[in-house]
Chains A and B, each alone.
Chain A
Amino acid sequence: AQSVTQPDIHITVSEGASLELRCNYSYGATPYLFWYVQSPGQGLQLLLKYFSGDTLVQGIKGFEAEFKRSQSSFNLRKPSVHWSDAAEYFCAVGASGYSTLTFGKGTMLLVSP
């Protein structure tokens, strides 16, 4: 069975600073990896996904993530954070041939002025 670990429950970043949210997964084969963002009272919005190919994937809102098989990681990055990025971020893994996702517990991003 697959699993996802997001080591940081909360992260505070100054507006304009760079951001990196960590995600480690456990899965025997090549995983399908996703990052979702959830604003208060809202559902989940897909930021980006990795299925195969180029290990650096670009997403919406200026986010990118890098798949590192050797480290079982899929960290999310943004070069300059905006106050509107404050939200909860979820990393998720899926298995080839299946349509279900296993989510991490999430990282709450706080943006300070």
Chain B
Amino acid sequence: KAGVTQTPRYLIKTRGQQVTLSCSPISGHRSVSWYQQTPGQGLQFLFEYFSETQRNKGNFPGRFSGRQFSNSRSEMNVSTLELGDSALYLCASSSNQQGTLNSPLHFGNGTRLTVT
């Protein structure tokens, strides 16, 4: 089974621009979560989608948004980029349907976003 695939692997953007990151979950997984990883703040939860609906949201500004498609693929968008948005963005999928952790999260290799 193919793992979680994130594209692109690397992105360089300028302050004020917007960016879209893509995540394809493991086949059959309908839950997709996004995490931001920075040296200062560590790993922080952004949001989770299940069956095209946002099920949970972390404490991030409205510039961060996401969506999920009917094939469970997910995208996250960051508008009006700031220098502090430079981070590794990790996507994780799970076979959980109840919004629990009974099935573990499987992470992709991430998209490294650099904002200049």
Contacts and interface: CB of A to CB of B under 8 A. Distances in A.
Nearest to A95: B101
Interface in B83-106: 90, 92, 94, 96, 99-102, 104-106
| Interface size band for A | 20 to 34
Contact of A44 (B56, B90, B102): B90
Contact of B105 (A42, A46, A96, A97): A46
Interface of A: 32, 34, 36, 41-46, 49, 51, 90, 92, 94, 96-106
Interface residues of B, number: 28
Given A32-B101, A34-B104, A51-B102, A100 B109 contact: no
A44, A51, A102 — which one has the most chain B CB atoms within 10 A of its CB? A44
B2 to A, nearest CB: 14
A101 B105 contact: yes
